[in-house]
Amino acid sequence: MRPGAPTRLLVIAGLLALCGCSKPASTPDATSSSGNAAALSGGSSASAPSTADNAGAAPTPAPKPRIVVHAGKELSVMVNQQISSKTSNPGDRFEGSLAAPVMVGEKKVIPSGARVIGTVTDAKSAGKFNGNAAITVTLESIRVNGERYPIKTTSVTQAGKGRGKRTGIGAGGGAVVGGIFGAIAGGGKGAAIGVGAGAGAGAAGAGFTGDREIEISPETRLSFTLENTIAISGN
């Protein structure tokens, strides 16, 4: 080895050591920094709603307009099944259909043929109540455009007299029978209408059976008055 070589090696080693100590510390990568920033902000950037998603949401459809049918409207109903004072009981339901449309102004709100559900509120058989047969019915709902509407109406009563009155009823003819069948529970107005109608009640399909029972036959028309206000959804 040449003279002075050890000294040079020591000098080089010292310089290398100094360079190693003076190297700057490595900086964190960009991914780590952004992750830390998101953590400090509570993850708000991840949960932010997308503007594109909101723009594609379907708009809420506007509610359909409703037309109010006020109490006092007449509902002419055709009964679709037989109701008898002998076989019916209070609480029994029957079906029918609207025989004439319900109008509000010049607009047809409920079309003819709309389905109705009625209830027998009283049924007295001639054999159980001293020969006095009677049937009382009312309406409880109507269906329009697939939607069911609860309703409250006047009751219709069809009643007969006892066996001792059979001759009188027969001699009186259609006017007396019409008066009996036209009677509406809660007032005598219906009876007066029935007398004026004469034999029309018989033609409607209601009458006495051979044992003095009363039957309301299919296709019989009954008139009810609406007692509550209903709001019908438009088409």
For the segment 166-190, what is each residue's pLDDT rounded down to a tens digit?
A: 322 322 333 333 334 444 333 444 4
Q: Quote the pLDDT of residue 182.
A: 42
Q: 26: helix, coil or strand?
A: coil
**Are 116 and 77 spatial neighbours (Cβ–Cβ below 8 Å)?**
yes
**CA-to-CA distance for 134 and 85, rounded, in angstroms?**
6
Please, what CATH class does the domain formed by 67-233 belong to?
mainly beta
Global pTM reads 0.56
Residue 7 clears pLDDT 90, i.e. is over it = no
Q: Quote the pLDDT of residue 132.
A: 80
**CA-to-CA distance for 10 and 164, rounded, in angstroms?**
147
**Amino acid at site 175:** A
Q: Which residues pair with 68 in a beta bridge?
A: 231
For the segment 105-137, what is each residue's pLDDT rounded down to a tens digit?
A: 999 999 999 999 999 999 999 877 666 899 999
What residues does each domain of the chain span? Answer: 67-233
Tell me which of 9 and 101 has the higher pLDDT. Answer: 101
